Structure 1
Amino acid sequence: MNDEELHLNLEDKEWPLTTIDHDRMIARAIVVDGDDNFYFVRANRDDDFGKATLIETAGGGVEPGENLDTAIRRELIEELGAEVEVICKIGVVSDYYNLIHRHNINNYYLCRVKSFGDKHLTQDEIEDFHLSTLKLHYDEALAEYEKCSSTRLGRLVANREVPVLKRAKDLLDVKE
């Protein structure tokens, strides 16, 4: 396995493309602990995308003037309460949410947990998305993505994240 970054360009085949009117720079992470547990967020949504329960990597939008390293560390504290060591950048996945006219530029990192503390979720994350933490082994995570792929949004997320999770597992296996 070489250390070349993963680069994927994905289309939204769930909703028709009318127009894309904005880009969103995003920092996301595959987060692992010393016991090979992976940490994700569970979202229970009922919004423009429909009703869905999803597994997703922790992460979110990069704020104006913020670099990716700062953004990933901030997002992991907010959503997981996790202080992390950034092991490496996994790569970039470009995907689209046609329904909301958005192009996502997802920058993925592989991170190891140093410690857990309090989460700092936004009101939307608490009230609209009902975010909670999932701690899963690799095979359980793959099964969870498969289960959540029964919805249109779940398929978009799984198409983006399963290749990244597999790449992260390969990188971890090489480092051991």
Structure 2
Amino acid sequence: MTTAKKRTDKGTLQIEIRLKDEHIYWKKYVWDAKQPMAMVICNYPGQEELYQDNLTSMLVKNAVIEMSKYGGVIIANLFTKPLQTVNERTLAEAFLDDGMEELIKVCNESEIVILAIGSLANRFQVATDRLKILLKQVKNVGLLGRIYELTNGQHKRVHPLAIRNERWSLLEINEERLTELMQL
């Protein structure tokens, strides 16, 4: 019988958060600055402080770490205001005018951008409109080749909470898929 030797692993995690009043533009975690960044766009932020994470953020961070090719992740959202109730009215009031500009800036910092919004854009017109604006701007600045969707086994768009125990499957958003999404 061999005995394993005890060890202590140490690491440094740098955390940044970009906010304005109650709105959270993005939160960045860097564990290896020499590696490229990933970005994951979800729906709306939780009630987070710098050192607190909600379940979605934990799942996103762990999934990106499991990919083993990125040194950090930027978690951003289509909407910038934390919400308790989700409907057309609350979503319409849940973003700032410069929110999309902030999203595009951090898309530029990332090697890959993963849309992890689930069915929100299918259920609410304001979410559909925000998604279309994002995709149009991403295409206009030449970043479409970096955009992927988080999907389940049937290539259906999902949110990280919906597949919390599964490995992530990514579907590239090419011109054909972009056309489909613009018709939502």
TM-score where L is the length of structure 1: 0.27
Report which of the two structures shows the higher radius of gyration computed on alpha carbons.
Answer: 2
Q: Which gives a bigger RCO, structure 1 or 2 (Cα 8 Å, sep 6+)?
A: 1
TM-score, normalisation: structure 2: 0.26
